[in-house]
Amino acid sequence: MQKIKNSIVDRMIEQKCTSNEIDFLCYISMYQDITGRVTGVHYKDVCDATGMSIQGYYDTKASLEDKGFIICDKRDYSDCDISIVGNSYTGEKYNREGYINTNHNIFFCKEFRNLKAGAKLLAMKLMIITFSGKGYFEIGVKTFFDKQTGYQKRFGVSRRVMRSYLMSLKPLFSLGIKDGKYYIEPKRIIYRKAGAKEEAERYREKGVEVVLRRSRIKDPGQGRADLYKLFKQYDAKAEAGKKCLISLLDRAVKKSLTILNKGKTWIKYKIINIKLIHKLLRDEWEEEANKEEKTVTETNYNYELPPTHSRAPGNLDQHRYKNKFNNFEQRHYDFEELEKMLLLHDVPIS
């Protein structure tokens, strides 16, 4: 699902996201599933795609997590799973919410990458308006720069800075003024190029790359194409069942390597046996389905606290737990008498 919801773009403007934070969110959104989860985000992939440094990657990831845009989950030593908060595309509400397609060419071109953070956010906001309206944006110059209700207030900058943002978008948008109004229309460079990869194709390729990296398979040979076909066979079913196909296939590949290496800790033979992986994938699928069914049938819907947790305000010690560490018969000593014995008698040194 190569999409970012309009509400998230508004939050980015409100919290004044940096250029790296914008690039980070746009990049990972290209590989998210229907729930907004991105499996197997590797620092090198993000750095190569966005041009940020390694330290910049970790700083950006931490700042986005602090601001509440993402949730990180370390599932593997080599990468982590990241969920974009509020970017799920399930349920009826999805059909009523607008979004930006991050598979558009604008997010891959250097003209967008080189913009300042405010200009990037303005470009995304203009994309929302023009794509959901009549194809262009018409607004009065005074209204645009109004200090109380205009874009100058929304972005929290001066008129001069706001104008510099707008002028820097000329390589991406056609900008004209007539009768005291701005007429802004996106250029063709913004749209997806002919021959560019489809959304599903990008997701499958990234999934195969994650599975191979997590199993440390550097030269899979024909196995890469076989895994891609397996992704293509099951991705629609996984999306309908709200399952993470990458995680399921990752576990299946790791189990296949364990079987091929006869359970040894050190994996010597790193071979893609697609028939064995396919069988293990079906087993993983059934096992996860059984877990979900068991969870549903055994759920206890009584949420009342047990008596030990419902303490009255005046009797805080009434239900206090007893410390069982010393719960045995103790010996009793007269330490004063023992001290006198030590002082009055010579104790031999052993």
Per-residue pLDDT tens over the stretch 237-252: 887 777 888 888 888 9
Residue 6 contacts residue 128 (beta carbons within 8 Å): yes
Per-residue model confidence (pLDDT) at position 193? 64
DSSP code string of 29-57: HTT--TTSEEEEE-HHHHHHHH---HHHH
Per-residue model confidence (pLDDT) at position 345? 66
Per-residue model confidence (pLDDT) at position 138? 87
C-alpha angle 190/55/16, rounded to 5°?
50
Per-residue model confidence (pLDDT) at position 318? 43
Percent of all residues in the chain with a pLDDT value above 70, rounded to a whole number: 81
Per-residue model confidence (pLDDT) at position 244? 83
Per-residue model confidence (pLDDT) at position 265? 74
Using DSSP, state whether 140 is helix, strand or coil.
strand
pTM (predicted TM-score) = 0.75
Distance, in Å, from the CA atom of 321 to the CA atom of 160, rounded to the nearest integer, reads: 66
Using DSSP, state whether 184 is helix, strand or coil.
strand
Per-residue model confidence (pLDDT) at position 68? 92
Residue 204 contacts residue 230 (beta carbons within 8 Å): no
* Average pLDDT for the chain: 81
Strand order in the sheet with 181-186: 137-140, 181-186, 173-178
Distance, in Å, from the CA atom of 55 to the CA atom of 330, rounded to the nearest integer, reads: 58
Among residues 67, 64, 18, the alpha carbon closest in space to that of 41 is found at 64
DSSP code string of 70-139: EEEE--SSS-EEEEETT----SGGGGG--EEETTSGGGTSHHHHTS-HHHHHHHHHHHHHHHHTTSSEEE
Per-residue model confidence (pLDDT) at position 311? 40
Residue 232 contacts residue 204 (beta carbons within 8 Å): yes
Per-residue model confidence (pLDDT) at position 326? 52
E strand segments, 246-333: none
Phi and psi (nearest 5°) for 16? Answer: 55, 60
Per-residue model confidence (pLDDT) at position 89? 79
Among residues 1, 30, 206, the alpha carbon closest in space to that of 108 is found at 30
Per-residue model confidence (pLDDT) at position 134? 77
Residue 159 contacts residue 75 (beta carbons within 8 Å): no
Per-residue model confidence (pLDDT) at position 348? 56
Per-residue model confidence (pLDDT) at position 248? 87
Residues of the chain with pLDDT under 50: 296-322, 350
Per-residue model confidence (pLDDT) at position 328? 56
| Number of helices (H), then strands (E), in the chain | 14, 8
Can you say how many angstroms the Cα of residue 153 is from the centroid of all Cα atoms in its chain?
30
